[in-house]
């Protein structure tokens, strides 16, 4: 699954990191950045992007210009959590959980099948996503959080922006396969929204979680996923597979709260230290529960002892 992402680049920096070419011989070009939709909402760079926030995705230019080549790419901010085009009323109240969609049965889904068959495929951009380790006997809020990202060039640390050279090579963004839909309100304003495709984890990532987003590792995979005019549905879905190159490290559980947007969200922490800290917190919680209980028991024992030592009442004459 995928519940939070991180993207701190501004639009021009994102364009620079998403240069592409339609063939191996063509000179790389910048994708166009469009920002005139989404009912007045704008993308805001953030260390902790949550469902219903806006973040940039790549789509085929054909969705905005029928005369364009389907291999031309456009970057468009969209809301995370897909609002189906047929929804009536407030888009915030469609009552569906659509931040992720399962690859299994995707083509037959009444919710996701229509966008898939209409070629509404997108590539979700981020510096990385957060995942919480699937651990038995622990509440979700107590599980260790990890930051998952792509390998970077030498001397580039994904958690340290001072090591990024955005004027030249930039950084390697993590790109996830998704679907999008277009919802229109009563005034005719359009809201673009997306969902991230997930499937069963491979053996390597299953140590963290049993589900993983469909990650596109190469420019060729990105181009094929977006090129719905030349790459059919079955072929596109069959090319999706768990990534073998992603990396991850433990982070603070600050990211658990979507209102925490601090740059500390994606900073590495020592996994053992984090586990020990969690154990300490649980121990303190237990002590805070036991101490009052112990005090109550002690007070009860004193009362019982006092009542036993109290002299009997004198008989009235």
Instruction: Report the catalytic residues.
Output: 2, 131
Residue 35 contacts residue 42 (beta carbons within 8 Å): yes
Which run of H or of E encompasses 128? strand 128-132
Residue 83 contacts residue 39 (beta carbons within 8 Å): no
Which run of H or of E encompasses 184? strand 174-184
Nearest Cα to Cα of residue 63 among 227, 184, 196: 227
Q: How far apart are the first and last CA of the chain?
A: 84
Nearest Cα to Cα of residue 146 among 281, 277, 268: 268
Question: Which residues, 6+ apart, have CB-to-CB distance to 139 below 8 Å?
Answer: none
Where would I find the H helices in the chain? 11-17, 113-117, 219-226, 233-238, 271-309
Between the CA of residue 206 and those of 113, 212, 242, 268, what are the distances in Å? Answer: 27, 8, 11, 20
Between the CA of residue 59 and those of 62, 179, 222, 284, what are the distances in Å? Answer: 8, 10, 10, 50
Neighbours of 102 (CB within 10 A): 14
């Amino acid at each position: 699954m995928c519940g939070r992402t991180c993207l701190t680049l501004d639009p021009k920096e994102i364009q620079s990191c998403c240069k592409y070419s339609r063939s191996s011989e063509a000179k790389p070009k910048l994708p166009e950045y469009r920002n005139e939709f989404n009912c007045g909402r704008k993308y805001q760079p953030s260390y902790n992007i949550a469902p219903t926030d806006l973040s940039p995705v790549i789509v085929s230019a054909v969705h905005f210009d029928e005369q364009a080549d389907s291999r031309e790419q456009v970057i468009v901010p969209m809301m995370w959590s897909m609002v189906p085009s047929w929804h009536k009323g407030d888009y915030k109240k469609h009552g569906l959980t659509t931040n992720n969609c399962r690859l299994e049965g995707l083509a037959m889904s009444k919710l996701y099948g229509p966008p898939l068959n209409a070629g509404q495929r997108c590539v979700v951009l981020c510096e990385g996503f957060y995942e919480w380790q699937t651990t038995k006997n622990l509440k979700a809020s107590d599980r260790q959080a990890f930051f998952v990202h792509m390998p970077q060039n030498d001397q580039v640390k994904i958690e340290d922006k001072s090591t990024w050279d955005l004027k030249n090579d930039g950084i390697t963004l993590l790109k996830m396969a998704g679907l999008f839909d277009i919802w229109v309100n009563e005034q005719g304003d359009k809201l673009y929204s997306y969902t991230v495709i997930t499937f069963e984890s491979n053996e390597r990532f299953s140590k963290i979680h049993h589900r993983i987003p469909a990650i596109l590792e190469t420019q060729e995979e990105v181009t094929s996923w977006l090129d719905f005019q030349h790459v059919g549905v079955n072929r596109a879905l069959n090319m999706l597979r768990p990534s073998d190159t992603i990396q991850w490290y433990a982070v603070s559980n600050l990211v658990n709260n979507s209102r925490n947007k601090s740059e500390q969200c994606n900073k590495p922490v020592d996994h053992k230290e984090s586990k020990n800290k969690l154990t300490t917190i649980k121990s303190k919680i237990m002590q805070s529960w036991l101490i009052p209980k112990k005090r109550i028991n002690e007070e009860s024992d004193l009362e019982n002892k006092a009542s036993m030592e109290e002299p009997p009442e004198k008989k009235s004459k």
